[in-house]
Structure 1
Amino acid sequence: MWLIFKKEFKELLRDKKTIIFMIGLPLLLFPAIFGVAFFFMSTAADEAENKVLKYAIVGEAYAPAIAQSFANTPDKFEMVSIGGESDYAKLIKNETLDFVLVIPETFNSDVLTSGQHKIQLYLNDAGLNKVVGRVSEIIDEFAHAYQQQAFETLDLSETQQAALLNPIEIEKQNVADEREVWGERLGGALPYFIFILCLQGAMAPAADLGAGEKERGTLETLLISPMDRYKLVLGKFFTISCAGIITALITVSSMAIWGLVLSQGMAVEFVVEIMSMIGIVDFVLIFLMLVPVVAVFASVLLSLSIYARSFKEAQSYMGSLIMVVIFPVIIAMMPGVELKGGWIWVPLTNVALAMKELFKGTMDYFALFGIFTSTAVIAAGLIMFCIHWFNKEKVLFR
């Protein structure tokens, strides 16, 4: 068995495609994808923030001070005359304008007499834009000034003003520590990425060690060897499992390293603070729970590869397996789903919930026995099925 494992693993490392999928992509491509995505998002946000917005004000005579404030910032706003055109939606959709402000006739600074004013803002809010925020910056200045004017008229103290604006204030006292808060926010996404990385890292070698050997005609040579077939299967199984774990570890480490390199100031401190909250024991437990999960993936992938007639057919089967893996992880991310009761025995979902609890520091360690046992039993059953599958000549040579 170990001879088969050493042989397959050496061949795996000699294969350029495998090296690219196991090492090259995690180290370079995935961080590059996130970096490019972040670059375009930040560029688009900067463009939206610095774009000169074309606007029109209907009823500017009722609020000349507001109209003048927009006119005083030509680097941010450009006024466009629309004549008597009343179809504001048409003007905005054909990009003649970015927004239209409609000021009511009753508008004035004495809010105690006139009451609350409602200014209508027409815009296309379907895409990435910051029209509402940039317009609100100017309008809020006047709203605050009118508010202060009303308070002075009523002769209210600062305490009375605060009480009038917010008669009842809820003062939140969070009993959860900082690790639990960030664990709840980030811990749910952790198994999602790790599971997908383990699965994808195992796909290429699994397709090659089963269907690939069929295509190359080397499977027959292995079958006529004096070694028991279950040892052949276990050798291939351990090779696929190692590939999945190595890919996941390299990818996670690569993202962490690139994040530390590219981040600055508070971002680095934040990452260090989050990582320092999690103990070494919790990291070890997360890794140990990953072992039976990878065994499940490796068994299923090897069974599909053995069944497939060709490398291409094996890849098509394995591609659909991603959705099967994503579904139980999404369930673990849903509100109200906790590591209690029957969820301890639900495959993959229980491991995802346990990883989140370990990240939060609220893990019931006795539940780990049930989670690890149930996942290990499923993995063992799938390995036995894979061995049974490999012993069928009609499957091997279909």
Structure 2
Amino acid sequence: MHVAIVEDDINMRKSLEIALGEYEEFKISTYKSALDALKKIDSSVDLIVTDINMPGMDGIEFIKKLDGQYDIIVITGNATLSRAIESVRLGVKDFLTKPFEIETLVEAIKRHDKIRTKVKESFEKIDSTKEENGDFIASSPELEQALTIARKAAKTDVSVLLLGESGVGKELFANYVHKNSPRAKNPFVAINMAAIPENLLESELFGYEKGAFTDAIAEKKGYFEVANGGTLFLDEIGEMPMMLQAKLLRVIQERVMVRVGGTKELPIDVRIVSATNADIKRSIKEGQFREDLYYRLNTIPIEIAPLRQRKEEILPICEVILERVTKKYGLQKRYFSGEAIESLMTYRWPGNIRELISVVERAVILSDTEAISKEDLFLESRNWFSS
């Protein structure tokens, strides 16, 4: 790890160079001033340790000039609360007051290196699996296992049931199955059962004939016909009324359907992917879901772990969202402070990836500085959701 020390006091500078040089994992460079460092420092540096009170250019101005390109630890013998706050908002990882034990500085450096290594490994994994994993931004053992099952299922026409909490990315998985299947060039149609009123759901799914009801002034194709030859994703399948469950079961078994108000059987070639965050087995016991339909839909179940069990994915996803939002709205460059990263990694994310996207988008837009702070995330106010 390449550490740059920026310190105008020659004795302090030499002492740090010698002390840190005792650690084989550290490569040390030293600079007598911020101006000297700005001229000579390069991209090989992983972390900068800098004083604040220096002649010519002080540490705060130096940090601003670096524009978030490096992670920084501040050391100072003349600390003030205002300067500490300002340095943290500029993205400083740690703020140490002189005199300090060298072990304290080493611990801070290693803490940074651990975070940096995790992020690097995550992005390397993204690059190595990008083609295979499609639209998935990051990877974890739990995600890899689910994707492996999805790839195998995609090669067949069997029904897939996606299980997991709200917001874990079930529609993304359904799309992944479709894109990796022989049906990829045909339609992918998604429908959320919970979002359509019960009295309209049958006609939305199966379509209707002209004159089937008062407002049926012309025939209309349902989602099954629109998705013919492709994949139909039935989200929140546990919300489907019992009456329609029987009709869906017949369509799956017989591969034919009848529009509302019609008598003609229409051949249907659709691959079904369904999803739920409900306890289907409990619904079956309570008589709210047909057991025979469950087994038809559940040929290959895929359990998608919640984000709190896939923490390797959090920072890479955040970085991608940050880049997308700043480009979309023409905002200045943003980065996450050390405290913000810690908050992102320790929060439980009850809303999973959907919540993560919302939190980061808001923080990027509302942050008054380039460094997105812990406070910008507003995660403490969300903890009541997960308590």
TM-score by length of 2: 0.25
Larger Rg: 1
TM-score (norm 1): 0.24
Report which structure shows greater RCO (CA 8 Å, sep ≥6): 1
More strand by share: 2
